[in-house]
Amino acid sequence: MSHDTNTGAAGKSGAGLGRILHSPLALPLIGLIVVSVLMGFASDNFFSLSNIMNVLRQVSVVGILAVGMTFVILTGGIDLSVGAVMALVGTLGTGMMVNMGLPAPLALVIGIFIGLGIGLANGVLVAWGKMPAIIVTLATMGMARGLGLIYSGGYPISGIPGWISWFGVGRVGFVPVPVIIMVVIYAAAWVLLQRTPFGRHVYALGGNETAARLSGVKTQRVKLAVYGISGLTAALAAIILTGRLMSGQPNAGVGFELDAIAAVVLGGTAISGGRGLILGTLIGAVLLGILNNGLNLMGINPYLQDVIKGAIILLAIYIGREWR
């Protein structure tokens, strides 16, 4: 009897371990632990509280961009415009404060709506225009970048109120404000994806668009919404970056869209859509930040860092495919 009980307990334990190992979070967590341990051995300062907080603060901008990117990729789409939209929103927002004399809170709100509007425009072209997302957002990326440079003349716009720096470099206790904002956004995204019909529709669309449409999902509206969310998160990231730089930088955010995609992929979301968790994206963003920080602490050549990160992303995609 005792033997049967022990066997049953072992079976349940094995089944539980199996579920954990096949969870979408398993690989990202394993990767995060392995990279953290390696970086800890490579640098004595890596696990210091100040360095950890610095990593999380540096991660915040890309991490927030990756939230919107997760929604888009879960539907089987892509958004290459987020870095340029972030730069445009930051440039126009600071311009409204400095050149037009608008109150800073109003300028920030208008900037958020600009980002949301660009995202919705992408969604209209993808959903109703039946245009490939990669082409639409590539075009939007070029347009947003160009508009920012035209408006600013190619130069940073400075002279914004000092309190805006709180969004970029402020602290609540020992926790950086950008980290708090990032965590709040991830929590909201988790509720939206895991606890609402909209979240179920996002996964259904990414899993099989035809089946989702036949089952009553308003696929065009879902596409519109996810690209709107991507534009919104780009605008929120712009506020943090503007607070950090204390200026509007039309050249800011170059390559950030690739980092956001990398965070999503490293977090276990299938690039083809339909599978993934927003918590995985957070882990992926932190993993990417730890990798960047550790390589910097080790004094690795920045160009070589790009090669290493690219190889790791390819490896993550390959292992994730085999794992599934």
On whether the CB atoms of residues 263 and 59 are closer than 8 A, the answer is no
Give residue 21's pLDDT: 56
Taking 80 as the threshold, does the pLDDT of residue 120 lie above it? yes
The neighbouring-strand residues paired with 248 are: 157
Give residue 117's pLDDT: 97
Give residue 82's pLDDT: 96
Q: How confident is the prediction for the chain on average, in pLDDT?
A: 89
More confident residue, 306 or 66: 66
On whether the CB atoms of residues 151 and 91 are closer than 8 A, the answer is yes
Report the Cα 112 to chain-centroid distance in Å. Answer: 17
CA gap 43, 216 in Å, rounded: 54
Element (H, E) at 247: strand 247-248
Give residue 320's pLDDT: 63
Which residue, among 231, 262, 50, has the nearest Cα to 126 in the 3D structure?
Answer: 231
What would the pLDDT profile of 91-118 be if each residue is shown by its tens digit? 999 999 999 989 999 999 999 999 999 9
Give residue 19's pLDDT: 56
- Whole-model pTM: value is 0.90
Give residue 323's pLDDT: 54
Least confident span in 128-137, 156-165, 263-272, 306-315: 306-315
Residues contacting residue 111 through CB under 8 Å, at least 6 positions apart: 89, 90, 92, 93, 96, 235, 238, 239
What would the pLDDT profile of 283-304 be if each residue is shown by its tens digit? 999 999 988 888 887 778 888 8
How far CA 192 is from CA of 181, 229, 278, in Å, comes to 17, 11, 10
Give residue 137's pLDDT: 97
On whether the CB atoms of residues 226 and 202 are closer than 8 A, the answer is yes
The H-assigned helical ranges of the chain are: 2-21, 26-42, 49-74, 82-98, 104-127, 133-152, 165-169, 177-194, 197-207, 209-214, 219-245, 256-266, 278-297, 302-323
Q: What is the mean pLDDT of residues 50-54?
A: 88
Q: What is the mean pLDDT of residues 205-226?
A: 94
Give residue 272's pLDDT: 86
Q: What is the mean pLDDT of residues 175-180?
A: 95
What would the pLDDT profile of 273-282 be if each residue is shown by its tens digit? 888 899 999 9
Give residue 88's pLDDT: 97
**CA–CA–CA angle 137, 143, 146 (5° rounding):** 140
